[in-house]
Amino acid sequence: MRACLFLSSALALVSLATAVTIYPNDESEGAGFYSLVERTTSPNIGARTCTLIDRGESTAYRNLAPFNNQKQLVNILRRNTHDERHHSHTHQDEVAKELFELSTNHRDIWSDLEQSFMERECDSVAKVSLLDDDKEESDLGRKVQDVFKIPQGTGKDYSLQEGDEVRKLVDSGPDKNRVGIVFMGDGYTLEEREKFFGDMDRLVNDMFIGETFESFLPLFNVYALFRPSRESGIGTQGKWRDTSFRLYRDGTELRGIYCADPRAAKQACHAVGKYACDFPSLIGNDPYYGGLGGQFVISTSSNKSGTVVLRHELGHSLIDVGEEYDGGQVYSGVNAERWTIQNIKWKHWITDDVPREEKNVLRAQDYAWYDLAKGPYKVKFESNGEYKRWSLKISHSGVDTDDSFEVYIDGKRLDWTSPGGYDRDFSEWFGDEGFSAGSHVIEFRQGSKYDNEPVDDTRPIRQLCSVTMHEFMAEDQYRFDNTIISAYPTYDIVGRKTWRPSNEFCLMRNMTSIHFCSVCKEGLWHRLLSKASLLDEIQVDCDENAQGESVFDLSAKLIPLGQFREDQSKRSQGEVYETRWFRNGVHQAEYDNHVKIQVSEEGIWEFKTEFKTPEVRKDPRGLLKASKVFVVAKRLCSK
Ligand SMILES: *[C@@H]1O[C@H](CO)[C@@H](O)[C@H](O)[C@H]1NC(C)=O
Ligand SMILES: *[C@@H]1O[C@H](CO)[C@@H](O)[C@H](O)[C@H]1NC(C)=O
pLDDT at 151 over 60: no
Cβ atoms within 10 Å, residue 47? 13
| DSSP run (H or E) holding 168 | strand 165-170
Task: Find the ligand nearest to 198 CA.
Answer: 1
pLDDT at 533 over 60: yes
pLDDT at 139 over 70: no
Per-residue pLDDT tens over the stretch 228-255: 999 999 998 888 899 999 999 887 778 8
Q: Which residue's alpha carbon is at the smallest distance from atom 9 of ligand 2?
A: 504
CATH architecture, range 359-478: Sandwich (2.60)
Phi/psi-derived region of residue 548, left when phi > 0, alpha when psi is between -120 and 50, beta in every other case? left
Given a contact cutoff of 8 angstroms between Cβ atoms, the answer to whether 579 and 607 are in contact is yes
- What mean pLDDT do residues 84-101 have? 54
Residue 453 has a pLDDT of 84
Cα dist from 343 to 23, 229, 340, 355, whole Å: 24, 52, 6, 8
Pairing of strands 576-583, 279-284: unpaired
Residue 12 has a pLDDT of 32
Given strand 425-431, what is the order of strands in its sheet?
A: 360-371, 463-472, 389-397, 425-431
Backbone CA torsion sign across 105, 110, 115, 116: negative
Residue type, 403: D
User: Is the CB of 186 inside a 6 Å radius of any atom of ligand 2?
Assistant: no
- Measured in Å, residue 304 CA sits from the centre of ligand 1 at 8
Q: Which residue's alpha carbon is at the smallest distance from atom 2 of ligand 2?
A: 513
Task: Among 159-163, 455-459, 556-560, 604-608, name the one with the lowest average pLDDT.
Answer: 455-459
User: Is pLDDT larger for residue 69 or for residue 456?
Assistant: 456
Our mutation pick for probing the ligand 1 site, out of 289, 302, 303, counting the most ligand atoms within 8 A of Cβ, is 303
pLDDT-derived band at 395, boundaries 50, 70, 90:
very high
Report DSSP state, residue 636: G
Q: Give the whole-number percent of the chain exceeding pLDDT 90.
A: 57
Cα dist from 17 to 20, 22, 71, 619, whole Å: 7, 10, 8, 43
Given a contact cutoff of 8 angstroms between Cβ atoms, the answer to whether 245 and 184 are in contact is yes
| DSSP run (H or E) holding 527 | helix 518-531
Q: Which residue's alpha carbon is at the smallest distance from atom 7 of ligand 2?
A: 513
Find the Cα–Cα–Cα–Cα dihedral 244, 168, 514, 285, rounded to 10°.
-20
Cα angle for residues 599, 602, 605 (degrees, 5° grid): 80
Residue 429 has a pLDDT of 97
How much of the chain is helix, strand and coil, in % rounded to 5?
20, 30, 45
User: Is the CB of 513 inside a 6 Å radius of any atom of ligand 2?
Assistant: yes
Residue 157 has a pLDDT of 65
Q: Which residue's alpha carbon is at the smallest distance from atom 5 of ligand 2?
A: 513
Report DSSP state, residue 568: G
Residue 183 has a pLDDT of 97
Residue 556 has a pLDDT of 96
Task: Find the ligand nearest to 195 CA.
Answer: 1
Q: Which residue's alpha carbon is at the smallest distance from atom 12 of ligand 2?
A: 504
- Taking the C-alpha atoms of residue 105 and residue 74, their distance in angstroms, rounded to an integer, is 7
Per-residue pLDDT tens over the stretch 24-44: 333 333 456 778 788 888 777
Residue 323 has a pLDDT of 83
Residue 621 backbone dihedrals phi, psi, to 5 degrees: -95, 5
> Which of 13-22, 33-42, 223-232 is the most confident on average?
223-232
Per-residue pLDDT tens over the stretch 342-386: 999 999 999 999 999 999 999 999 888 899 999 999 999 999 999
- What mean pLDDT do residues 484-503 have? 90
- Taking the C-alpha atoms of residue 143 and residue 399, their distance in angstroms, rounded to an integer, is 39
| Residue 46: partners with Cβ closer than 8 Å, 6 or more residues away | 2
Question: DSSP states of 574-617 as a string?
Answer: T-EEEEEEEETTEE-GGGTT-SEEEE---EEEEEEEEEE-TT-S
pLDDT at 117 over 90: no
Longest CA–CA span in the chain (Å) reads 95
- Taking the C-alpha atoms of residue 610 and residue 624, their distance in angstroms, rounded to an integer, is 6
Tell me which CATH homologous superfamily contains domain 165-318: Collagenase (Catalytic Domain) (3.40.390.10)
- Measured in Å, residue 323 CA sits from the centre of ligand 1 at 29
pLDDT at 123 over 70: yes
| Residue 568: partners with Cβ closer than 8 Å, 6 or more residues away | none
Residue 484 has a pLDDT of 97
pLDDT-derived band at 458, boundaries 50, 70, 90:
confident
User: Is the CB of 512 inside a 6 Å radius of any atom of ligand 2?
Assistant: yes
Residue 466 has a pLDDT of 92
pLDDT at 461 over 60: yes
Length of the chain: 639
pLDDT at 145 over 60: no
Residue 91 has a pLDDT of 42
pLDDT at 399 over 70: yes
Given a contact cutoff of 8 angstroms between Cβ atoms, the answer to whether 629 and 635 are in contact is no
Per-residue pLDDT tens over the stretch 304-320: 899 999 999 888 888 87
User: Is the CB of 533 inside a 6 Å radius of any atom of ligand 2?
Assistant: no
Domain boundaries, the chain: 2-25+534-636, 31-147, 165-318, 359-478
Q: Give the whole-number percent of the chain exceeding pLDDT 70.
A: 83
Q: For all residues of the chain together, what is the average pLDDT?
A: 83
User: Is the CB of 391 inside a 6 Å radius of any atom of ligand 2?
Assistant: no
User: Is the CB of 504 inside a 6 Å radius of any atom of ligand 2?
Assistant: yes
Cα dist from 151 to 58, 98, 135, 172, 223, whole Å: 18, 31, 10, 21, 18
Cα angle for residues 557, 520, 217 (degrees, 5° grid): 35
Taking the CA of residue 304 as reference, the ligand 1 atom at the shortest distance is 1
Q: Could you tell me where the DSSP H helices lie in 288-365?
A: 306-318
Whole-angstrom Cα Rg for the chain? 27
Given a contact cutoff of 8 angstroms between Cβ atoms, the answer to whether 160 and 259 are in contact is no
Per-residue pLDDT tens over the stretch 190-220: 999 999 999 999 999 998 888 899 889 999 9
Model confidence, pTM: 0.79
Q: Which residue's alpha carbon is at the smallest distance from atom 6 of ligand 1?
A: 303
Q: Which residues line ligand 1 (CB under 6 A)?
A: 287, 303
Per-residue pLDDT tens over the stretch 409-444: 999 999 999 999 999 999 999 999 999 999 999 999
| Residue 336: partners with Cβ closer than 8 Å, 6 or more residues away | 321, 322, 323, 324, 345, 490, 498, 499, 500
List the end-to-end C-alpha distance of the chain, in Å, as a whole number.
80
